[in-house]
Amino acid sequence: MSNLDFSGMFSEDTRNFFRSPVRDIFKRVDLNKIYSFAGGYPSADTFPLDTFGDIMQRVLEREGAAAFQYGATQGVTKLREAISKRYGVPVANVQITSSSQQGIDVCTRVLVDPGDVILAFNPTYLGALQSFRSYRADVVGVAAKSDIDDFEKEWRKTIEKCLSDGKKIKFLYAVADFQNPSGETLTLGQRKVLVKLAAEYGFIIIEDAPYRELRYEGSDIPTLYSLDPEHVAHLGSFSKIMAPGFRLGWIIANEQILDRIYVCKQALDLCPPVFDQYVAEEFLSSGALDANLKKSVELYRSKRDLMLRTLEEVMPGKVRWTHPDGGLFLFLTLPEGFDAVKFYDKALDAGVAYVAGQFFHTDGVSGKNTMRLNFSFMSHSRIVEGIKLLGKLLDEVL
Amino acid sequence: MSNLDFSGMFSEDTRNFFRSPVRDIFKRVDLNKIYSFAGGYPSADTFPLDTFGDIMQRVLEREGAAAFQYGATQGVTKLREAISKRYGVPVANVQITSSSQQGIDVCTRVLVDPGDVILAFNPTYLGALQSFRSYRADVVGVAAKSDIDDFEKEWRKTIEKCLSDGKKIKFLYAVADFQNPSGETLTLGQRKVLVKLAAEYGFIIIEDAPYRELRYEGSDIPTLYSLDPEHVAHLGSFSKIMAPGFRLGWIIANEQILDRIYVCKQALDLCPPVFDQYVAEEFLSSGALDANLKKSVELYRSKRDLMLRTLEEVMPGKVRWTHPDGGLFLFLTLPEGFDAVKFYDKALDAGVAYVAGQFFHTDGVSGKNTMRLNFSFMSHSRIVEGIKLLGKLLDEVL
């Protein structure tokens, strides 16, 4: 270890960095030795290894050296075209990112100065909060009201408050489909309110949609982007429809935003991984993606159903949880006074991991009595065993 | 195109973004249709496609699903261990990056606030300048003096001037081996001066070493990192010793710096591409990297020699150039009054591309009479043809 103290050398931004408690869990324990409801990991069963191998061979033969050379900053043209076709948007509006986390980060970088307001649902995705806070944004959270008038009223009140405080609202961040961590989905009415407010008050919406294609019941609801392509930047991800190890995502947005992102990305990392982009393109265009997605949806639906059934069986009466129509998570609410952060060490000692809901709240302290449970990662039998164990532990303290 | 004007929405940082003129050249012309001395592209002949295919197959079989799951933020342990072993540094001091450009960017992010000074050699790597300026750093350039006393005096004078102006110096950026764009290498004496100054004045040195292993003559000189592991962060790259399409690099640095980078990278992109890291590890550990590097060095040496010979033959007498011991570039100096930016359109119309030296200067205006020429990308015959064409064009105007 160094004898020198560099602590005075770091940028102001670093003072606002905060560590992911999820990633810190992974440093502490071996995921395979505990019941882990903590991560947002897809099931390894959804990675079609043979297909990946075949596709890699095809890309090697077809693209040759071009797959290993520097690529365009916007991403490989073929992949941008495939995404353009799949989602019905112009190629010029598609930028490939080195992970959808980078999509969140680069949007924040080009839009937000310290003190600017980012509006977010409470609770919201932890990785987004990490990025927002690292740029010293003023993240203002709003809990979604189920009544549509209350929903609009609450947002309007929050926006007016920010403006009367002299603050500049840059964007609203929303996971419209199967929100991380709550598992909840915005209704069409709620989406229309959001785009109306964005146009009225002149802010942008960052629609983060990594789970959108993992729907287990009900019908697709139009994306925020489709309701207002001018005000919405839509972030897609290959992590849940292909595999996270490729670290590939995309941004669909208007050209003014994409132009800044393009120049920013030159300095960030020049371009996304090139071979991986060709593999993603072939996976998508060959139909392998849709075939695999269909299987993933069936698998995850059965896991969700099993978890819901098991919760019903074993959880103490005072515990409530969400019923997600898709995605990877559901959200538990325990009686007032329960502290999921404090309870965490006890749970981990007993061999079960979750993420305390508090970490997903914009103020970092609300939601003490909540926890996020993932149902995609573990096998069916381990889901049952893990939920039973968690139920037993909760029963002892409630 | 949008009717809305978002120009007031962007962050202060975006006002300092500047586009890579190199990448803009690639948008304008098809590289295969002109004589391109512009990019910093390795030769496609150095990508061992069959070996890559075999290694990918081995990784698929050996690592299975783990190669496609989320990975550790620090990088895959095996790859960090392989780098640790190759370069004789502790594993704890190795962070994998999603490109060495990301290494530059993330170091700047965690160290620099707007107005902080970054010291750099003049001329210096354009991609580093893009990143530095995007964080609104005050980039102060110094031309390297060949006399060692003058070298130290010039740096000391510059440092003292910054300090007397009340500025905070965060780091000195140096490509010690085969500098981009000049092709020049710092002597051991010069390196010792730099680490002495870093310790004396308490700043960090970012040693960017993407070309270090591409040496065509002479012997290795100790890295800045080896001279002072506390004050130096060393950036490595797989782009020139394997292939740039993987977008992988690494940082070797003290744990105080790496800890900030670790937390920052969680928000940037969670982790580097996982499958690619396993491929890089196998490429390195199996010995394929060294075997391939040996061939690359021979190929590039012959291209460098050919370019030097051809320049000697065809360039007007007033033109001077550097003699690089390694790397990918040499640097031309034309008579005072020549403007390489203005000349550029004429050259491109005639079918030959270079990068004007002015873009590599910290003030953005010096070095008008210079240009960078790459000798790695094109075939031997096209190097000769291209240099002859450039010589003819220059002959007409000089």
Asked if A263 and B18 come within 8 Å (Cβ–Cβ), the reply is yes
- pLDDT value at residue A2: 56
Average pLDDT estimate for B337-358: 95
| Rounded-to-5 percentages of helix, strand, coil across chain A | 50, 15, 35
In the three-class reduction of DSSP (H, G, I as helix; E, B as strand; rest coil), residue B203 is classed as coil
Number of H helices and E strands in chain B, helices first, is: 14, 13
Weakest-pLDDT range from A26-35, A266-275, B221-230, B251-260:
A26-35
CA dist., res. B264 & res. A127, Å (int):
11
User: Among residues A212, A214, A194, A192, which one has the least CA distance to residue A203?
Assistant: A194
CA dist., res. A308 & res. A323, Å (int):
8
Report yes or no: B280 and B59 within 8 Å, Cβ to Cβ.
Answer: no
User: Among residues B107, B126, B154, which one has the least CA distance to residue B264?
Assistant: B107
Pairing of strands A94-97, A204-208: unpaired
Rounded to the nearest 5°, which phi and psi values hold at A44?
-60, -20
Question: Which residue type, as a one-letter code, is found at position A209?
Answer: A
Considering only the C-alpha atoms of chain B, give the largest distance between any 2 of them, rounded to a whole number of Å.
Answer: 62
Rounded to the nearest 5°, which phi and psi values hold at B321?
-150, 160
| Interface contacts A/B by beta carbons within 8 Å | 248
Q: Which helix (H) or strand (E) holds A208?
A: strand A204-208
Q: Which two tokens stand for residue A40?
A: 């947002």
- pLDDT value at residue B357: 96
Question: Which residue type, as a one-letter code, is found at position A59?
Answer: V
CA dist., res. A171 & res. A110, Å (int):
11
Asked if B264 and A134 come within 8 Å (Cβ–Cβ), the reply is yes
Chain A residue with Cα closest to B262: A19
Which residues on A lie below 8 Å from B288 (Cβ)? Answer: none
In the three-class reduction of DSSP (H, G, I as helix; E, B as strand; rest coil), residue A339 is classed as coil
Cα-based torsion angle of the residue sequence B195, B196, B198, B201 in order, rounded to the nearest 10 degrees: 180
- pLDDT value at residue A18: 85
Cα-based torsion angle of the residue sequence B288, B290, B292, B297 in order, rounded to the nearest 10 degrees: 180
Asked if A245 and B69 come within 8 Å (Cβ–Cβ), the reply is yes
- Count of all residues that appear for chain A in the document: 398
Q: Between the CA of residue B74 and those of A132, A356, B102, B232, B249, what are the distances in Å?
A: 21, 24, 13, 19, 12
Q: Is the pTM of this model over 0.90?
A: yes
Question: For an interface test with A, which of B16, B89, B275 has the most A Cβ atoms less than 10 Å from its Cβ?
Answer: B275
Which residues on B lie below 8 Å from A102 (Cβ)? Answer: 268-269
Residue B215's contacts (CB-CB under 8 Å, 6 or more residues apart) are B177, B178, B297, B325, B326
Q: Between the CA of residue B320 and those of A142, A238, B4, B367, B386, what are the distances in Å?
A: 65, 50, 51, 13, 17
User: Among residues A245, A148, A240, which one has the least CA distance to residue A197?
Assistant: A148
Q: Which of B45, B131, B263 sits opposite A17 (nearest CB)?
A: B263
Which residues on A lie below 8 Å from B99 (Cβ)? Answer: 269-270
Asked if A9 and B244 come within 8 Å (Cβ–Cβ), the reply is no
Residue A274's contacts (CB-CB under 8 Å, 6 or more residues apart) are A66, A67, A68, A69, A70, A71, A76, B244, B245, B246, B247
Q: Is the confidence at residue B2, as pLDDT, over 60?
A: no
Which residues on A lie below 8 Å from B241 (Cβ)? Answer: none
In the three-class reduction of DSSP (H, G, I as helix; E, B as strand; rest coil), residue B27 is classed as helix
CA dist., res. A118 & res. A124, Å (int):
12
Weakest-pLDDT range from A7-16, B20-29, B191-200, B274-283:
B20-29
CA dist., res. A269 & res. A261, Å (int):
12
- The whole-chain average pLDDT of chain B stands at 95
Q: Which two tokens stand for residue B205?
A: 């040195």
Q: What is the DSSP string of A127-152?
A: HHHHHHHHTT-EEEEEPPPSSHHHHH
Residue appearing with tokens 């919405």: A232
Q: Which of B44, B204, B276 sits opposite A273 (nearest CB)?
A: B276
Residue B105's contacts (CB-CB under 8 Å, 6 or more residues apart) are A267, A268, A269, B131
Which residues on A lie below 8 Å from B377 (Cβ)? Answer: none
Report yes or no: B37 and B354 within 8 Å, Cβ to Cβ.
Answer: yes
Which residues on A lie below 8 Å from B71 (Cβ)? Answer: 245
Rounded to the nearest 5°, which phi and psi values hold at B218?
75, 180
Residue A362's contacts (CB-CB under 8 Å, 6 or more residues apart) are A120, A122, A124, A129, A139, A140, A141
Asked if A60 and B53 come within 8 Å (Cβ–Cβ), the reply is yes
CA dist., res. B121 & res. A24, Å (int):
39
| Residue A389: other Cβ atoms inside 10 A | 17
Each residue's pLDDT expressed in tens, for chain A with a length of 398 residues: 456 888 899 999 999 898 877 766 666 777 778 999 998 999 999 999 999 999 999 999 999 999 999 999 999 999 999 999 999 999 999 999 999 999 999 999 999 999 999 999 999 999 999 999 999 999 999 999 999 999 999 999 999 999 999 999 999 999 999 999 999 999 999 999 999 999 999 999 999 999 999 999 999 999 999 999 999 999 999 999 999 999 999 999 999 999 999 999 999 999 999 999 999 999 999 999 999 999 999 999 999 999 999 999 999 999 999 999 999 999 999 999 999 999 999 999 999 999 999 999 999 889 999 999 999 999 999 999 999 999 999 999 98
Rounded to the nearest 5°, which phi and psi values hold at B305?
-60, -45
Report yes or no: A22 and A374 within 8 Å, Cβ to Cβ.
Answer: no
Weakest-pLDDT range from A220-234, A251-265, B20-34, B315-329:
B20-34
- Tell me: ipTM over 0.95: yes
Measure the N-to-C terminal CA separation of chain B; round to a whole number of Å. Answer: 45
Q: Is the confidence at residue B1, as pLDDT, over 50?
A: no
Asked if A4 and B231 come within 8 Å (Cβ–Cβ), the reply is yes
Report yes or no: A79 and A236 within 8 Å, Cβ to Cβ.
Answer: no
Report yes or no: B244 and A70 within 8 Å, Cβ to Cβ.
Answer: yes
Alpha carbon A118 to chain centroid distance?
Answer: 16
CA dist., res. A187 & res. B319, Å (int):
69
Asked if B4 and A130 come within 8 Å (Cβ–Cβ), the reply is no
Alpha carbon A63 to chain centroid distance?
Answer: 32
Q: Between the CA of residue A284 and those of A25, A78, A277, what are the distances in Å?
A: 33, 11, 10
Q: Which of B1, B113, B134 sits opposite A267 (nearest CB)?
A: B134
CA-based nearest distance B76→chain A, Å: 11
**β-bridge partners, A261:** none
User: Among residues B248, B251, B258, B253, which one has the least CA distance to residue B282?
Assistant: B248
Residue A315's contacts (CB-CB under 8 Å, 6 or more residues apart) are A321, A387, A391, A394
Rounded to the nearest 5°, which phi and psi values hold at A299?
-60, -50
Report yes or no: B63 and B278 within 8 Å, Cβ to Cβ.
Answer: yes
Residue B156's contacts (CB-CB under 8 Å, 6 or more residues apart) are B197
**β-bridge partners, B95:** B251
User: Among residues B275, B384, B375, B299, which one has the least CA distance to residue B47?
Assistant: B299
Residue B286 class from Cβ within 10 Å (0-12 exposed, 13-18 middle, 19+ buried)?
middle
CA dist., res. A126 & res. A123, Å (int):
9
Average pLDDT estimate for B114-127: 97
Residue appearing with tokens 């309110």: A193
Residue A177's contacts (CB-CB under 8 Å, 6 or more residues apart) are A185, A186, A209, A211, A212, A215, A221, A326, A327
Looking at residue A326, the DSSP 8-state letter turns out to be B
